Structure 1
Amino acid sequence: MRNDQSLMRKSHFLGTKIRNLRKRNHLTMEDLSARCVRMDAGSAPSVSYLSMIERGKRVPSAAMLSVIAAVFQKEVEWFLDDVPEEAAITPDKGRHGGISGMALEPSFLFSNDILQIAIPEMLSQTGTTGRQFAHLLIRAHQEHHQNHFPDLERAAEEIGQKRMPLSADDMLDIAKGMGLRIKWIDATPQEVIDEMGLSSRQLVTSFFEPPSTIYVNKALKNRPYRLKYDLAVHIGHCVLHNKDGLKSVMTSGRREDSADDGTQSNSLNAQDILHAWRDFESSFFAGALLCPKVPFRQLLDRCGYEIDVHKQLQVSASVAMRRMTVVSPYPHWHYFDAYAQGKLQAVYRGNGIPLPWGNMRLVQDPCQHWAVFRMINEPTVGTSAQISILNVGNEPRIYCCESIKVEDSAGNAHVLCAGIDLNPAIEAQGKDALTIAQDLKQACVDSGGSVVIPKNIKQDLTSVAKILNINWIERGIKNEARLICSRGGVCPRQPSCYAAGRPQCDDE
């Protein structure tokens, strides 16, 4: 048996391993402590001491670790650094969505003091702005909670009384009832150039001036969908933050993450976090006000989650599609708003789907077969629904998405995409999702990257589509399934899209 001094030198991942093992066995700390007491009361950890062990604040004695190991039927050596199994130190997220986490161990390297030094250095070296990092933090928080923010939902319902649809006049009445004044301004789209030298147009649509004035661009009088959204966002800010004015100017067009003075800043400060968080809260509130959860879910259920439902509600497609990811009883959704290759304006990955291309840097080996990006430069004929097979964590998963090409208030074309991970739905029907996905992947590989879905798999997917009541899944099943990948360098097609050293499209 190792002595306590040797144990201290080899215990950097010990707390994480115990915590994850306990959670995977559905035990509370009280449960584990009680199990240890029954096994050896003299060496068993108390609940408070067990908490300190899991947080890396204490190292158990050799005798105490032996008791814990015995409870879980593990060898003592399994808990030490000599056995750094990836699954053992990866945080257990349960059924939470989003991308996989990482263990913040050894804990002394992930202390607040060290992170406060390391994060700004990382941003500086990678060219990531403070505002971009703030958005990343908030997106991770959003995905971890799978878009469930009941306090924001309740706040919106109190204002809108769950009415649906709300007209532009209704929104103006709500604003006036809160003591807000509307003033109209003239502003024209301005050209902006990104780091790749690509130009687009950006339009200031509205802004709030404390204590009670909302300035709105006259151009929105001809765009009632956008007018309603802007008013809803400002109403949300006033409700949530007492009209304090700490709210970003609202614009239409591709967002450039730069400092207020127009220069890129790689420093992270509290103001970046505050502005980004308040922007998110106000935007979420706006969606909940315009598409209240229960009536919107009922409408989606009647309409089979068709994207065109946004026209009935007189809201933009982006608002309706983002709310789908919130109100659907099926939690495994993703949503993209793409302006160009590598330019994702908005991202939500409650199903943990890998991020195509990235929304901060244009990667060198993009996969061109994602539906959202193919639509940017291609005209859409008929439905855009697509069944895709993608390797995630070395296992194939089946996704289905529906995309729509729209134009923002500044005149820029962009593509909105809502999709789901079908594997959990297949498993819920008692089917082997992994085997089905592997068979469909192999059929695609054998056919050069896309294939008419085999009859037996089509039956399984059709059954799932009917249970989920999502019409565009059934349309996607009628099209060919496509292989997609997180990066071109891991392309599973034969021959690979990158076999000749450059990406090759299906039509080339």
Structure 2
Amino acid sequence: MRNDQSLMRKSHFLGTKIRNLRKRNNLTMEDLSARCIRVDASSAPSVSYLSMIERGKRVPSAEMLAVIATVFQKDVDWFLDDVPEESAITPDKGRRGGISGMALEPSFLFSNDILQIAIPEMLSQTGISGRQFAHLLIRAHQEHHQNHFPDLERAAEEVGLKRMPLSLDEMLDIAKGVGLKIKWIDSTPQEVIDERGVSSHQLVTSFFEPPSTIYINKMLKNRPSRLKYDLAAHIGHCVLHNKDGLKSVMISGRKLQMDEEVTMQSNTLNAQDILHAWRDFESSFFAGALLCPKVPYRQLLDRHGYEIEVHKQLQVSASVAMRRMTVVSPYPHWHYFDAYAPGKLKAVYRGNGIPLPWGNMRLVEDPCQHWAVFRMISEPSVGTSAQISILNVGNEPRIYCCESIKVEDSAGNPHVLCAGIDLNPAIEAQGKDALSIAHDLKAACVTGGGSVAIPKHIKSDLVSIAKILNINWIERGIKNDARLICSRGAVCPRQPSCYQAGKSQCDGAE
């Protein structure tokens, strides 16, 4: 048996491996300790000592590690750095959304002290502002919890009493009831130029002035859905934060790198940036919950097969209605994009973990132009936009369906909203082999040059899933050709590839 000094030099992943093994075998620390005692009581770890091992605070003796290895039927060497298998050290996120996690190991390099030094340096070198990083943190938190924030839902229900729809007069009464005064301002859209030379417009829609006044753009009188959203968000700030830290100005139009607000931001990770970004998120979530309370809205969607048109009944924006779909649906595997152009995603939610085709923090040279949300930006809208897509995720094909809608924001900028779901979990829930079906559909698409009418045997399975989920646009998507999409052109599965020699072959379609 190797000596304890040798163990210390090769134990950087040991605690993580033990913890992940234990969790993947559905054992508590009490369970594992008890099993170790049955193997060798004299060398078995106590629960408290096992906890310290898993957190990297202690290294087990050679004898203790041998006992743990016996319980899990592993060789002792498997636990040491000689075999740092990715699956052994990366936490299993299950079906939670967002990008794949990474193991923060060796733990001594990911201590709070080291991260506090390294993260600001990383932001400085990459040009990412502290506010952008704050939004990334919040989105990861949102996706990890799959939009489940019951405390915010309850706060909105206490204010709105689960009424739906709320009229503009009722919203004004609620604002008055929480102590807000309203004044109207004149402001016209301002032209801004982004870093690629593309022109668009921004409009200040409302802002708060202490102690209790909201200034609202008169233009919103002609856009009641946006007016109700701004009121709801300001009400959220009052209810949730007691009007503390209200520094955000509500703007319609995409956030551009050339904006004065952005260029003045520091790359320093400021605690106030995190706090204000989080409060903005909470107030935005509150606004959606106030305008579309969970139970009544779910019942409405169920009656109308999750049609996006329900937003007109409620006099809310399509954006609010689609974002709330991802929250209230009993099916958790949703995604949502708000795209102003390829490479310009204003809002993203990925409760199903779908890879981003590209993000806002860097441009890519090989975007895939076959994502429905981006095709609609440059194509005229005719008929339904519902699309069945096949995308490789972790080297395995997954089947997605989405519905997109082209709209204009209050500043007059066109953009596309897209809500979609991952169909693989729904297929598996019916006892079908989702991976096999996805492979068959992918093969058919490749043979068809990238898109194909869905084969009859697959169509039958998907139609039954659409009826079970009660989402009408899945059935419409099934009637259209399925399309291959990819996260980057360089990994395009089409034959011939859309992307060759560093240039998209379909640039004109972007």
TM-score, shorter chain, exceeding 0.5: yes
Mapped pair 1:404 → 2:387: no
Distance in 1 separating the partners of 2:202 and 2:129 = 20
Cα distance in 1 between the residues matched to 2:392 and 2:63: 43
Matches within 5 A, 1:105-504: 105-256=105-256, 260=261, 262-499=263-500, 501-504=502-505
Cα offsets for 1:340-399 (capped at 9, x unmatched): 110000000010000012122111111110000011111111000000000000000000
Whether contact under 8 Å (2:96, 2:353) holds in the other structure is no
Give the whole-Å Cα distance in 2 for the aligned partners of 1:166 and 1:275: 28
Q: Percent identity?
A: 87
The 8 Å contact of residues 386 and 476 in structure 2, kept in 1 or not, is answered as: yes
Contact map agreement 1:131 1:272 (CA 8 A) in 2: yes
Instruction: State the alpha-carbon separation in 1 of the partners of residues 435 and 360 from structure 2.
Output: 29
Whether the aligned pair in 2 keeps the contact of 1:77 and 1:83 (CA below 8 Å) is: yes
SS in 1 for 2:398: strand
Q: Partners of 1:186 and 1:263 in 2: how far apart?
A: 25
Q: Which runs of 5+ in 1 are unaligned?
A: none
Q: Which amino acid aligns with 1:57?
A: K
Judged with a 3 Å threshold, the aligned counterparts in structure 2 of structure 1 residues 431 and 261 are, in CA distance, closer, same or farther, namely closer
Spell out, residue by residue over 1:151-191, the C-alpha distance to the aligned partner (whole angstroms, 9 max, x if none): 00000000000000001111000011112111111111111
Give the length in aligned residue pairs: 508
Distance in 2 between residues matched to 1:36 and 1:148, nearest whole Å: 38
Q: Which moved more, 1:471-480 or 1:251-260?
A: 251-260
Looking at structure 2, the residues matched to 331 and 79 of structure 1 have their Cα atoms a distance apart, in angstroms, of 35
Tell me the CA shift for residue 201 of structure 1.
Answer: 0.4
| AA of the residue aligned to 1:4 | D
Asked whether the 8 Å contact 1:259–1:265 carries over to 2, the reply is no
Tell me how far 1:415 sits from its aligned partner.
Answer: 0.3
Cα offsets for 1:425-466 (capped at 9, x unmatched): 000000000010001001101111000000000001111111
**What is the CA-CA distance between 1:402 and the residue it aligns to?**
0.4
Contact 1:180–1:213 (CA<8 Å) still a contact in 2?
yes
Contact 2:387/2:403, CA 8 A, preserved across alignment = yes
Is this contact kept in 2: 1:340–1:373, CA < 8 A?
yes
Q: Which moved more, 1:495-504 or 1:379-388?
A: 495-504
Q: Residues 289-320 of structure 1: CA distance to partner in whole angstroms, max 9, x if unpaired?
A: 00000010111111100111111111000000
Shift of residue 263, structure 1, vs aligned partner? 2.5
Q: What is the CA–CA distance in structure 1 between the aligned matches of 2:425 and 2:308, rounded to whole Å?
A: 23
CA distance in 2, matches of 1:360, 1:352: 19
Inter-CA distance 467–261: structure 2 relative to 1 (3 Å threshold): closer
- The answer as to whether partners of 1:211 and 1:244 remain within 8 angstroms in 2 is no
Any conservation in 1 of the 2:14–2:80 contact (CA below 8 Å)?
yes
**1:248-287: CA deviation from partner (whole Å, max 9, x where unpaired):** 1100000236674842532211111111101100000000
Mapped contact 2:365–2:502 kept (Cα < 8 A): no
Q: Deviations over 1:230-263 (max 9, x none)?
A: 0000000000001124341100000236674842
Question: Once structures 1 and 2 are overlaid, which stretch shifts more, 53-62 or 394-403?
Answer: 53-62
CA contact (8 A) 2:192 2:199 kept: yes
68 and 480 in structure 1: CA distance in 2 versus 1, 3 angstrom threshold: same
Amino acid at match of 1:345: K
Name the SS for the 1:366 alignment partner: coil
CA displacement at 1:97 relative to structure 2: 2.1
Counterpart code for 1:149: F
| Distance of 2:294 and 2:35 partners within structure 1 | 43
Look up the match of 2:17: 17
- Larger deviation: 344-353 or 189-198? 189-198
Contact 1:386 1:401 in 2 (8 A): yes
Alignment of 1:86-97 (within 5 A): 86-97=86-97
Deviation per CA, 1:454-503: give whole Å up to 9, x if none. Answer: 00000011111110000000000000000000000000111111136421
* Coordinate RMSD, CA, aligned: 1.4
Compute the displacement of 1:505 (Å). 3.1
Cα–Cα, structure 1 residues 117 and 241, in superposed 2: closer, same or farther, change >3 Å?
Answer: same
Gaps of 5+ in 2: none
